[in-house]
Structure 1
Amino acid sequence: MQAATIKLFLVHGSPSGLRTAELSNWSGKAVAAPRTEISSLLKREELTSPGFYFLTGVDPDSGDRAIYIGEAENVANRLKAHSSKDFWNSVTVFVSKDENLTKAHIRYLEGILIEKANNNGSAVVVNSVNSGAKLPESDAADMDIFLEKCLQLLPVLGVSYFNEKIDPVSDSKELLYCKIKGLIATGKRTANGFLVFEGSQAVLEHRPSAVHSIKKRELLIDKGFLKKDGDYFVFLKDIEFGSPSTAARVVRGGASNGLTAWKNSKGVSLKELEENET
């Protein structure tokens, strides 16, 4: 991504409250707010325009981070319909300042974002379908550039589910290992949680009390991220979890304290490593 100047405006003065974000020389605009300020958000003129949005929160069943990605020709009206969804606690909206986003444009962007979120695997994607839309080549190129700017702003607004994952080779000295029954999973603490690397192994059988990990593992299996290989599971790609404990639960098949389950090559736990840093 190119260097950029970001203009943030805190509408009520709070960095976690209603706020807007813009990039220099860009026609887009982002508006974000916690659910507690949804009434103020819905009154904003920008939200009567076509746009796409992200509802973010926590999946009540698995305890993992969750995201819903939607689009609408009138975002404010569409958001009102999401009041029945109880998982989300914040919303981030993107619109165009020059009013050049069409229904086809926002459906195209929504489709790409849902696909990216599913492939990333760092959060439960609440969407049941992926609509998407085809665009003329020139329009698609313009929207790809628009999307790149959106992805640049999202982490600043607290939506980090689309971040590129780290290179495990260049950070090999920071690798951590979770071992159980002769199986080994390799991972690393990240700014967003914990990343388990491709090729890591996980136990095949769940523990009787493994309610949350069963659902998470089934989701990873359905997406083709976790596959049975003989008498264990293997990770087919890098997967970022919301916490070290969530990652450890999937690897070990039941409740686990990730701070003690993950250790470096010398056997020092993540908990000890973090305590030594403070």
Structure 2
Amino acid sequence: MSIGRTIRIYLDDGSITGIRHAEIVNWTGQAISAPRTQIKALAEWPESNKPGVYFLFGIDDASGSQALYIGEAENVLERLDQDLKGKDFWNEVVFFTSKDENLTKSHVKYLESRLVELAKSANRYVLLNGNSPQLSSLPRGDRDSMEEFIGNLRTLLGVIGHKALEPVASHEQVKEEKVLIPNPAEANASQGFTLSHKKLKANAIVNNEGIVVLQGAELSPKMTHSLAEGYKKLRQQLLDNGTIAEDNGRLFFTRDQLFTSPSQAAAIIVGYPINGRTHWLNAQGLSIKDLEEQTAP
């Protein structure tokens, strides 16, 4: 059963592009987001002069994709001053500290290691950390407390606007190409679908963000002239970054890929315009369109 949460966000200058302070009610952690241009202004925030972990967001020069660097520091502001000089790619920082004094150097090193691991697994951003930091040794109680801290951190990071730690799909719903259809009352649950085209077969999960084509899904090697130019460019981009690979003339997805709509995903797979809402079918043979009509108010 899902439980609602209350989050407060304070806009320092009344602007959504300025410094923002975010917190979850009844949690000792806190987040601050700031544009690169206002790092010096963080000196007026005691929250920034504490041990914590931070995320630098920007654009990767090599690929042009969204990039991320994750770090830790005994004093976040001092480390950010260093990153102003040493790292050029980023334009926003989001850092997390504690309202009390219970977050230590060992704690933040543990958090850094786990957060890098989660960001790699989510694979939403180009991760610019050169090496995976070693996981620091903590007593069992401290380790569990840090895992709870990470859960709240992920929530706040997403609310601020970055899903860097969120996996694009949960594979618990898909087993041996069979899908488990959740109770319609569970509005946030993912649902599994299959697209069959000639000899091709692709599995996907529909969730709150769109549709996630799962690793191993096959694609047609051909594209028709009627396929939209934007889709052609996206398909080429997925080939260039390794999301789609070729093996003896066979194209397939090497990892899960999120698409904004069922039709976009289907067109990329079959190579021509197609109505994905009618062609993605669940285990009962119902299309996404059918299910939407069943649940419509």
TM-score of the aligned structures, taking structure 1 as reference length: 0.72
The aligned runs of 1:190-269 (5 Å cut-off) are: 195-202=212-219, 213=238, 215-217=240-242, 230-240=248-258, 263-265=276-278
**Aligned with residue 157 of structure 1, among 156, 160, 177:** 160
Partner of 1:123: 125
Q: What displacement does 1:128 show?
A: 1.0
Asked if residue 103 in structure 1 is aligned to residue 105 in structure 2, the reply is yes
Partner of 1:56: 57
Higher relative CO (Cα under 8 Å, sequence separation at least 6) belongs to 1
Partner of 1:33: 34
Partner of 1:143: 146
The aligned runs of 1:73-84 (5 Å cut-off) are: 73-83=74-84, 84=86
CA distance, structure 1, for counterparts of residue 47 and residue 217 of structure 2? 45
CA distance, structure 1, for counterparts of residue 7 and residue 49 of structure 2? 24
**Residues 32-66 of structure 1 deviation map (CA, whole Å, 9 limit, x = unaligned):** 12223222234422111110011112223323222
CA distance, structure 2, for counterparts of residue 199 and residue 33 of structure 1? 39
**Residues 122-177 of structure 1 deviation map (CA, whole Å, 9 limit, x = unaligned):** 2111111111323332211111111111111111111112224366855669x697
Asked if residue 68 in structure 1 is aligned to residue 69 in structure 2, the reply is yes
Does the CA contact (< 8 Å) of 1:183 and 1:202 recur in 2?
yes
Distance 1:22 1:200, change over 3 A: same
Aligned residue type for 1:131: P
Distance 1:68 1:262, change over 3 A: farther
Does the CA contact (< 8 Å) of 1:66 and 1:123 recur in 2?
yes
Query: Matched residues, percent identical?
Result: 34
CA distance, structure 2, for counterparts of residue 197 and residue 228 of structure 1? 16
CA RMSD of aligned residues (A): 4.2
Aligned residue for 1:129, secondary structure, equals coil
Does the CA contact (< 8 Å) of 2:52 and 2:72 recur in 1?
yes
Does the CA contact (< 8 Å) of 1:227 and 1:234 recur in 2?
yes
Runs of 5+ unmatched residues, structure 2? 182-189, 223-231, 281-297
Q: What displacement does 1:110 show?
A: 0.8
Aligned residue type for 1:157: I
Does the CA contact (< 8 Å) of 2:216 and 2:255 recur in 1?
yes
Aligned residue type for 1:3: G
Aligned residue type for 1:102: T
Runs of 5+ unmatched residues, structure 1? 221-225, 268-278
TM-score of the aligned structures, taking structure 2 as reference length: 0.68
Q: What displacement does 1:188 show?
A: 7.0
Once superposed, which parts of structure 1, at least 4 consecutive aligned residues long, lie more than 6 Å away? Answer: 175-179, 188-191
Partner of 1:91: 93
Q: What displacement does 1:194 show?
A: 6.4
